[in-house]
Structure 1
């Protein structure tokens, strides 16, 4: 009986673990983790060994994550693959890219850190990053 109940609940648990569109900011605040996709683009963003990232974009997103009570979890990849990960809710933001691509929108961030890309449906996260950037200027 327990096995049947567990098998019946498994699909619900898997769905519950997926990120809903528009929830990246609240999820990052609740879990304390901001999932950051890194497009290797020296010197702006460089993914190092052990999951660390360096460069102005990494420093900027680390400071932003700290401002919302989170820390960045960096993962590298190509822009299109990371954009697909954003759509699946596996990545919250992308750094290191030179421009937006399908499924992601550039925030107003700029300067030597470049743009921060968020999912097209992640208005609260985009607004939060834009507000934080305005306060830094």
Structure 2
């Protein structure tokens, strides 16, 4: 009985101690970075079929690749996307010219602008900032 209990409880304890709730951990483990996209040509241009083009889309695709993930695009308005970040449904937002409640910008990436992440997503923000710094 104790062995059965230990088998059931140990995974729960390990999960509680890990940072599996962070957007960065989720993207690395699932291989999917959920990207909120504000339609903002030429920086972000949502196209038919669900693809997104533009320098911000290229930038976040390259970042996602660097962490072993690929982007899953969610097009919407900034405030709605910021709310989705807060609920953990979207990891980052690209294409925005303004800030919104609950999200914070990463370092600027020239023509691509900034990537917005949840205020509580320090590991993801630090990862993106370090990646941008390495790119020079």
| Coarse TM-score class (shorter-chain normalised) | 0.7 to 0.9
Once the two structures are superposed, the pairs formed by residues 1-137 of structure 1 within 5 Å of their partners are: 23-137=22-136
1: CA distance between counterparts of 2:72 and 2:122? 21
CA RMSD, 1 decimal: 1.4
Structure 1 stretches of at least 4 aligned residues deviating more than 6 Å after TM superposition: none
With the length of structure 2 as denominator, give the TM-score of the two structures. 0.84
Q: Which runs of 5+ in 1 are unaligned?
A: 1-19
Q: CA deviation at 1:22?
A: 6.0
Is residue 21–residue 89 contact of structure 1 (8 Å, CA) maintained in 2?
no
| Greater Rg over alpha carbons, structure | 2
1: CA distance between counterparts of 2:61 and 2:68? 10
Residue 125 of structure 2 aligns to a residue in which SS?
A: helix
| Number of equivalences | 118
Cα distance change, pair 97–21 in 1 and its aligned pair in 2 (3 A): farther
